[in-house]
Structure 1
Amino acid sequence: MAISMLLPRQLGARAPLGAGARGLQTLARAACRSAATAPRPTPCAAALLGRRWASAAAGTAPEAADVERLSRLRNIGISAHIDSGKTTVTERILYYTGRIKEIHEVRGKDNVGATMDWMDLEREKGITIQSAATYAQWNNTNLNIIDTPGHVDFTIEVERALRVLDGAVMVLCSVSGVQSQTITVDRQMRRYNVPRISFINKMDRAGANPARIIDQIRTKLKIPAAALHVPIGAEDAFEGVVDVLANQAVYNRGARGEDVVYEDVPAHLVEKVRAAREELVSVLAEVDDEIGELFIEDTTPTTEQLRAAVRRATIARRFTPVLMGSAIKDKGIQSLLNAVISYLPTPTEVRNTMLDLNNGEAVLDVVPYSNQPFVGLAFKLEEGKYGQLTYIRVYQGSLEKGQFAHHVRSGKKVKISRLVRMHSNSMEDVDSVGAGEICALFGVDCASGDTFTDGRTNCSMSTMFVPEPVISLSLTPKDKNSTNFSKALSRFQREDPTFRVHVDAESKQTIISGMGELHLDIYVERMRREYHVDCVTGKPQVAFRETATSKAAFSYTHKKQSGGAGQFGRVIGYIEPLTAEEMCEQPHEFVNNVVGGTIPTQFIAGCEKGFNDGLHEGFMVGHPVVGVRMVLQDGAAHSVDSSELAFRLATFNAFREAMRASKPRILEPLMTVEVSAPVEFQGNVLSSINKRKGLIIDTVTQEDYCVVVAEVPLNNMFGYSTELRSGTQGKGEFSMEYKRHAPVLPDVQEELIAAHQKKLAEKK
C-alpha cells in the first residue's frame, strides 16, 4: 500500500474516520498490517494523520447517524464554458430527482425559462448571471448543487462556488470541447483542490467528436482522462451510451427520458467497448497503485476493482472520468447522477483547513462532524425581499435556528433568526443543518468570505481569490436627488467582490469597475429595474498600469520652514523593476536596507507609506504603478524637525523623481480572445483581429467551423461584438478573458500621455 493510500482524504472512502473508536482501531490495525509492504510515512504525512486521529478521537467521536448522513451527501457544482449546457444539465437533474415537475429550457418558447435562471435578465439574455443553489436526492443520497455562470465576466460566481464545494461536474460541448473559459474553470478547480467528473454534452450536435474532446482534456488541461461511456450513434443518430464498466447499453425512453433501459451491447460496438475498457485500465495504471500492480502482473482487474480505482484517482485529483450524453435530448443525465454518487467525494473525504487565530494563524484541519465546535464560511451574499440573504457552508459542527454565532472578523455575536435551504430563488425553512451542508440565513451583517463560529474556537477559514477589475465606466444618475443610487451601488459591492465603486478625486464622477462590458451593463440594467434609477454611462476606461523598466537611483531632501517646528527628511536609495515571477507573488515591494540609524526606526513606516502613496497614481496617465521595488539605503534626520510626515513626503517625491528616470512604460490589459465562426468567414475573423492589433495564437478547423485564439489589447476590443456579427452574418461568437498586463506600443503610449495632459489642462 502506497503512502498516498494512507492519507485521510483517501481513507475516508473506506470508513475509518467516521466510525468512532472502533473505526480508529480498525484503521490503526490496517496501517500496521501494511507497514511491511508500504514505505515508512514521511514526517509530514505522519503528523497530518496524527492530527486528524487526535481531532476525531478527542472525546468527541462522531455519532453513527452523522457518519451515515455524511456518507450520503455530495456538494457539487456544475461548471463550464458559456453555452456548453450547464443550466440545461441542471434542469434535467432537478427533473429526474423529482425537484421539479416540468422541464423548461434556457431559451424556451413558453416564456418560463430554466428553474435555476430565475432573474428576468437571465431569462431574457439566455445566460446565467448569478450562481444558484439547490438541493435534491438521488438513490438515497442528498445532493447540494450550485449552477454557475459560464461567462468570464461573472467568474467570481464560479470562484466562490468552487471554494465551498467538494466536487464538480465539468461540462464540455461535444464540438467545441475545451474552450477559454473551460481552462479558467480548470484553474479554479485546481486552486481549491476540487475533484471533477467530465461530461461531454450535446452529443446530438453535428460534428460531435468525443474522442477529440478527451484528447483535449489530456493535452490542454493536463489531466489524465478516460471514457466510461461509448456513444451509440452520434449527431442526429445519437441514441444512448454503453457503460464501459457494466458492459451494458443504456437508453433513455419515455416522453422526457425518465425511463432508463439497460440492454446488451450492440454487436457493432462490442470491439469498440473492449478497446475503451483497455484504454481505461491503461490510464488508471498510471495514476493508481493497485491497478498499476495488476497491469504489471498482466492480471485483468475486475469491474469492482476498476470502480474503486476510478473513485480513488478522481478524489485524489489524478484522473477525471468522462461521461457522455445530450441534456437537451434527455439522454445520459441519470448515468451522470450515478457517477456523481459513485466517484465524487463526501465531505469527510476532502481535507479542509482553518487558521488558529490564537496561535499565530497555525493551520488546523477541519473535522467535518456535527458534534464539533461550529465553523462556517459565508461565501455569497444576496439582497432578498426579507433583507440580506447570506449563503453559508457549514464545515464543522452544526447551526441551529435561534442560536448565537460569533462573527470572527468583527468579534460580534449575531442571532440566527431564520435558517433556510435554497432552491433557486425559493427557500424552505429548516431548524438546523449539520456539518457539510450548505444553507442560507437572514439578518446577518457580514461580507463575502467571512467566517462564523460558535465562540468556542477562534479560527478563520481562508478567503477566496478575487481577480482585479479590468474595465471601468463613469456613471451618472439622471435624477440627482435619488437616494436609491447609492443604495444600489452599496448593495452590489457587498454581493460581488469584483464590482468596485469609487469617486474620482478630480472629476467627482462615480466610477464603477468590473470584469468586462457585459458585467457592468448588467449592473446598470439591474439598477434601472430593481431600484428605478436611470443612469448615463461614460466611455469605458481600461485599467492601465504604469511600471519602471530600468533601475534608477534617488536622493531627495524634503525641507519646509514656516515658523515654529519645520519639516526635514532625506532619503537615499533606488527603485528597480520586479521580474514576472516576483510580480506573481506581489505587485510591488518596499525594502528597508538602512543601517546605523541614519533614518530613525520610528520613521521607516512613514517612508513605506510615502512609497504606497506614490503607487496610487502614476505621473504619465494617472493610473496605479505596479512591478516596482523600492530599496531604501540611507538618509538623514533632524533632531527637531523630522517627523513621520516629513519622511512620508520625502519618500513620495523621491519615488516620483526616480520613476521619471526609470524609462517608465504604460501597461494595458491583454485579453485571450477566442472566436468561433463558420469556416467561410475565417478570413473576415482573422482580418478583424489583425485590425485590432491582435496576435493570432492558434487556429483550429472543426468540421464546418473554425476557432481562432488570439491575444488582443482590451482597449481595442470595444465594439467588437457588433463588428463580428456583421462580418459573419450573425453566426460568429467570441469569448474574452484577461491574461496579463503588457506594455503598450510606443505610439499608443504617446497618445495616452497626450490625452492625459490635455485632460489635466482642461481642469485648470
Structure 2
Amino acid sequence: MASNVSPEQDGLPSIETATSSDPVKQRRAEIARRRSFGIIAHPDAGKTTLTEKILLYSGRIEEAGAVRGRKTQRAARSDWMKMEQERGISVTATCLCFDYDGYRLNLLDTPGHQDFSEDTYRTLNAVDTAVMVVDAVNGIESQTIKLFKICAERKIPIITFVNKMDRPGGDPLRVLTDIENVLGIDAIPVNWPIGTGRDFNGLVDRLANEVIKFSPVLRGAHEVPVERAAMDDAANCPFPPEIMDHVRDEVSLLEGAGVPFQNELFLKGNQTPVFFGSALTNFGVEQFLQGFVRLAPPPSPRMSDQGLIDPTNPNFTGLVFKIQANLDPRHHDRVAFVRVCSGRFERDMEVTISRTGERLRIPRSHQLFAAERETVDEAYPGDVIGIVNPGKLRLGDTICGGKPLQYRGRWEYAPERFVRLRCADTSKRKQFTRGVTQLIEEGAVQLLSDGGTTLHEPTLGAVGELQFDVVQFRLASEYNAQTTVDRLPFQMGRWIETPNFDVDKYTLPSGSRVMYDQTGAPLLLFADDWSMDYFLRRHPDVKLSEHRPEV
C-alpha cells in the first residue's frame, strides 16, 4: 500500500492555487479541486445512509435522515420526491453539490433498486469516480455486479466502502476475497477494522500507521469522539494489548499477502481502495471522506465524435445526462442536468445544441441540491448545473460554446416490461398528454408505437415493473390525471441493428411483435427467451442489441 496519494494528478495544480488572478491558471485550479462521483450499491447496502452522512460531515445538512419504510422516520435529503419519502426507496437520481476541505464535490445519488437501473446507467455517463458500497455481511450482491460491469465498461475508477461492520457476521477478509473473485479486481484496504459486530469500535489507518478508537457513547451524533495513537505506541494505545496483538497479526498478513496500491492501476479500474466502517453509526465515514477526496481523480478527458476532449480546453462543452420535470411542481418546469466537461460555463451565455445546430441562450442556471436550487453564475468541468429546458434538449445532447461536437454515451436500455396506459377521464386529457410527454422526455419510460400510435392510449416500455407505478403516481400527484394500465404479454425487447430491416421478410415467433421507439428505431418484443432464441436461429443475419447504439 502506498503511503500517500497526492490530489495533484494529470499535471493539474493543487487546490491551494485556486485564487490565482490568471484566468487560465484559475480554470485549471478549479478543475483540480472538482470531484464528480456516483454511489453504486445493491438495495439495502446503506447507499443513501452513507450519502446522508457525507452531507453531514461536509456541513451541508445539520441532521442526517435514513431510508426507512416507516412514515415516522425523517426522510433522507437525497430522496426528495414524494413517492420516495412515502415508500422509503430511492427511485430517481439526484445531484448534490457541496464543498468539503477545499474540494467541490458533485455527488450524483442514484437508485439502487434494479427497476430504476436505467437512471443509474445514464447518470454514470457523468461521473469521474464511483463509490461502491458493499454490505459487510452479504458481500457482493447481484445489483452491485451489474453496476460494476457498467463502470468497468466505461473505465470508471471505483473506491469501495464496506458498510455495516457493526452488524454480526461481517468478515472483512471474506469481503476482500469476494471483491477480487467476483469482480476480478484487486482490493487494497486503506484502513482495517478493529473488531466486528458489536465489538467494532476502531480502525487501523494503514497510511498513517495509526489506530483510531470511536466512542460508542455518541453513536449517531455528527461528531463522534475518537482517540488516536501510533501503532507502536503501547503507552497511549486506546486498545488492550491482546486486541492489538491480534490486529497487528491481521495487518501483517495484509502486508505479506496483499499487493501494493498503484494509482495508475486504480485509475484504470484494475484496483479499488477499500475503506471499512458503519454509515449508521458514523464509524469510519469521516476517514472515508478524507481518503476519497485525495484518491478520486479530478475531471478527465471525455470521448467525443472529434476524439478526446480535455477538461482544460477553453471552449465550453456540457453533457445533458438527465432531464427532470416538476422539481418545482407549482410551475411544471423541466430541468436539464448538465455535466460541464470543458471550458467555463457562464450564466446567460449562448450555446449550440450539437444534435440540431440550434442556438440556445441560458439565462437561468442553478446549482442543484436534490430539489433545491441556487442561482449559479459560473461552473467548471466536473460541476453539474441545472438549466431550464424549453423542450429543446434531449438526453445525451451536447451543448457547446464553440465549435459543435457530440459526446458519446448510452441513453436507452432494452425494456423488459410493457403496458398500455389509459386515462378514462376525458376532461384530464390535456394534463395526461402533457405528463406522459414530459415523463418520456425524462427517460422514465419509453414510448413505443406500431407506426400510428398516438398519446391517447400509449404503449410504454420500462426496465422494471415499479417504473410504471412511478409513472401512475406522478401523473396523479403532479398532473391530476388518474390512470390505469393493461400489462402486455412481453418479457423483453431488443433493438434491431440490421440496416433496412423489413419485418415482412422475416418469420416472427408466435406472441412476438415489432414496434418502434420514440426515435423511430425498430424494437422486437418477445414473450420469453425461447422466442428470441428461436428467431435468431431462424434468422442468423439479424443483429439484436440490448441497448440503442451509442449516440
Pairwise TM-score range, normalised by the shorter structure:
0.7 to 0.9
Equivalent residue for 1:493, pick from 440, 444, 454? 440
For residues 338 and 420 of structure 1, the distance between their equivalents in structure 2, rounded to whole angstroms, comes to 27
Q: CA RMSD in A?
A: 3.1
For residues 151 and 741 of structure 1, the distance between their equivalents in structure 2, rounded to whole angstroms, comes to 26
Partner of 2:269: 317
- The answer to whether the 8 Å contact 1:466/1:497 transfers is no
For residues 197 and 423 of structure 2, the distance between their equivalents in structure 1, rounded to whole angstroms, comes to 51
Aligned-residue offset at 1:281: 6.6
Q: Which moved more, 1:208-217 or 1:266-275?
A: 266-275
Post-superposition Cα deviations, 1:710-748, rounded to whole Å, max 9, x if no partner, equal xxx9xxxxxxxxxxxxxxxxxxxxxxxxxx95569xxxx
- 1:78-93 equivalences under 5 Å are 78-93=39-54
The residue matched to 1:522 in structure 2 has which SS? helix
Give the structure with the higher percent helix.
Answer: 1
Shift in CA distance, 666/256, structure 1 to aligned 2, threshold 3 Å: closer
Equivalent residue for 2:279, pick from 321, 327, 335? 327
Partner of 1:657: none
- The answer to whether the 8 Å contact 2:265/2:271 transfers is yes
- The answer to whether the 8 Å contact 2:6/2:295 transfers is no
Partner of 1:172: 134
For residues 312 and 452 of structure 1, the distance between their equivalents in structure 2, rounded to whole angstroms, comes to 31
Partner of 1:57: none
Shift in CA distance, 83/504, structure 1 to aligned 2, threshold 3 Å: farther
Partner of 1:102: 63
For residues 533 and 465 of structure 1, the distance between their equivalents in structure 2, rounded to whole angstroms, comes to 28
Q: Could you say which structure has the greater relative contact order, defined with CA pairs below 8 angstroms and 6 or more residues apart?
A: 2
Partner of 1:373: 315
- The answer to whether the 8 Å contact 2:511/2:527 transfers is no
Aligned-residue offset at 1:329: 1.4
Equivalent residue for 1:64, pick from 25, 29, 32? 25
Partner of 1:16: 11
- 1:265-664 equivalences under 5 Å are 265=231, 266=239, 267=241, 268-273=243-248, 275-276=250-251, 279=254, 282-285=257-260, 309-347=261-299, 350-356=300-306, 364-369=307-312, 372-384=314-326, 385=328, 386=331, 387-444=333-390, 445-454=392-401, 456-482=402-428, 483-496=430-443, 498-502=445-449, 509-543=457-491, 587=496, 589=498, 608=500, 611=502, 614=505, 618=508, 620-624=510-514
Partner of 2:189: 227
The residue matched to 1:486 in structure 2 has which SS? helix
The code of the aligned residue for 1:389 comes to V
Shift in CA distance, 71/79, structure 1 to aligned 2, threshold 3 Å: same
Shift in CA distance, 281/527, structure 1 to aligned 2, threshold 3 Å: farther
2:159 is the counterpart of 1:197 = yes
Aligned-residue offset at 1:226: 2.6
For residues 465 and 383 of structure 1, the distance between their equivalents in structure 2, rounded to whole angstroms, comes to 17
- The answer to whether the 8 Å contact 2:134/2:162 transfers is yes
For residues 377 and 129 of structure 1, the distance between their equivalents in structure 2, rounded to whole angstroms, comes to 22
The code of the aligned residue for 2:478 comes to E
Shift in CA distance, 588/94, structure 1 to aligned 2, threshold 3 Å: closer
- The answer to whether the 8 Å contact 2:490/2:525 transfers is no
Post-superposition Cα deviations, 1:255-313, rounded to whole Å, max 9, x if no partner, equal 6142452423533234534543553575435xxxxxxxxxxxxxxxxxxxxxxx44333
The residue matched to 1:458 in structure 2 has which SS? coil
For residues 385 and 461 of structure 2, the distance between their equivalents in structure 1, rounded to whole angstroms, comes to 30
Shift in CA distance, 318/329, structure 1 to aligned 2, threshold 3 Å: same
- 1:111-150 equivalences under 5 Å are 111-150=73-112
The residue matched to 2:188 in structure 1 has which SS? strand
Aligned-residue offset at 1:354: 1.4
Aligned-residue offset at 1:622: 4.3
Q: How many corresponding residue pairs? A: 496
- 1:699-738 equivalences under 5 Å are none
For residues 149 and 510 of structure 1, the distance between their equivalents in structure 2, rounded to whole angstroms, comes to 26
The residue matched to 1:538 in structure 2 has which SS? strand
Aligned-residue offset at 1:112: 3.2
Aligned-residue offset at 1:541: 2.6
Shift in CA distance, 589/389, structure 1 to aligned 2, threshold 3 Å: closer
Partner of 1:557: none
The residue matched to 1:212 in structure 2 has which SS? helix
The residue matched to 1:422 in structure 2 has which SS? strand
The residue matched to 1:342 in structure 2 has which SS? helix
For residues 13 and 172 of structure 1, the distance between their equivalents in structure 2, rounded to whole angstroms, comes to 28
For residues 127 and 342 of structure 2, the distance between their equivalents in structure 1, rounded to whole angstroms, comes to 14
Partner of 1:263: 228
Aligned-residue offset at 1:466: 2.4
Partner of 1:238: 200
- Greater radius of gyration (CA): 1
- The answer to whether the 8 Å contact 2:91/2:116 transfers is yes
Shift in CA distance, 522/541, structure 1 to aligned 2, threshold 3 Å: farther
The code of the aligned residue for 1:16 comes to G
Shift in CA distance, 133/666, structure 1 to aligned 2, threshold 3 Å: closer
Aligned-residue offset at 1:422: 0.4
Equivalent residue for 1:212, pick from 159, 162, 174? 174
- The answer to whether the 8 Å contact 2:30/2:380 transfers is no
Partner of 1:733: none
For residues 128 and 358 of structure 2, the distance between their equivalents in structure 1, rounded to whole angstroms, comes to 29
Shift in CA distance, 613/83, structure 1 to aligned 2, threshold 3 Å: farther
Aligned-residue offset at 1:205: 1.8
For residues 619 and 174 of structure 1, the distance between their equivalents in structure 2, rounded to whole angstroms, comes to 46
Aligned-residue offset at 1:351: 3.2
Shift in CA distance, 489/91, structure 1 to aligned 2, threshold 3 Å: same
Aligned-residue offset at 1:403: 1.1
Unmatched tracts of structure 2, length 5 or more: 15-21, 232-238, 516-523, 536-551
Shift in CA distance, 12/330, structure 1 to aligned 2, threshold 3 Å: closer
Q: Which moved more, 1:148-157 or 1:491-500?
A: 491-500
For residues 514 and 59 of structure 2, the distance between their equivalents in structure 1, rounded to whole angstroms, comes to 53
Partner of 1:182: 144
Q: Which moved more, 1:496-505 or 1:240-249?
A: 496-505
Shift in CA distance, 390/666, structure 1 to aligned 2, threshold 3 Å: closer
- The answer to whether the 8 Å contact 1:500/1:514 transfers is no
TM-score by length of 1: 0.60
Q: Which moved more, 1:428-437 or 1:232-241?
A: 232-241
Shift in CA distance, 432/505, structure 1 to aligned 2, threshold 3 Å: closer
Aligned-residue offset at 1:495: 0.3
For residues 414 and 216 of structure 1, the distance between their equivalents in structure 2, rounded to whole angstroms, comes to 49
For residues 310 and 250 of structure 1, the distance between their equivalents in structure 2, rounded to whole angstroms, comes to 25
TM-score by length of 2: 0.82
For residues 619 and 506 of structure 1, the distance between their equivalents in structure 2, rounded to whole angstroms, comes to 23
- The answer to whether the 8 Å contact 2:444/2:467 transfers is no
